[in-house]
Amino acid sequence: MASSSRRKDGFVYFGRSVRKDGKSQEYVGSTTRNVRTREREHKREVRKKNSKTWVGKGTSFKVTGSFWSKNPRKAERTIKRRRRAAYKAGTYRSKYSGQKVKKRSTKRRSTNRSYRTRRTSRRSYRSRRR
């Protein structure tokens, strides 16, 4: 019998991994189970002598936050994609790095788009803008 390809609800979680040289790194992950269960797995990986995983290469791991998502795998990918784009643009600021974000000098016009009501379709929004 074939397995169902239905998306499972779950959590997207953020963690802090401290590396051997003392630097802190942010971690983003997703799980369809309890976040605490997943955190215990990460901590078990850290305790291993010769771990090959991203988190296991550090000296400690702690979950710093999480949120519920209808499609956690997609949400995780979106967060990582946006983070990579911000890093390339030089605007990425890690929660733990203490770096300042470069401010944009121009005022953005597209702020109203994010507060659009659900009833308004994208097509009618575009026609109003012209």
Kindly tell me if the per-residue pLDDT of 129 is higher than 80.
no
Rounded Cα gap, residues 76 and 100, in angstroms: 24
Global pTM value: 0.67
Adjacency order of strands within the sheet including 60-69:
24-31, 10-18, 60-69
* pLDDT > 80? residue 100: no
Coil, strand or helix at 71: coil
- What is the structure's pLDDT at 7? 84
The yes-or-no verdict on residue 47 having pLDDT over 70 is: yes
Query: Is the pLDDT score of 97 beyond 90?
Result: no
Q: How many percent of the chain have pLDDT more than 90?
A: 52
Split at pLDDT 50, 70, 90, the class of 120 is low
Region 30-54 average pLDDT: 95
Cβ burial of 67 (10 Å; 0-12, 13-18, 19+) is exposed
DSSP for residue 15: E
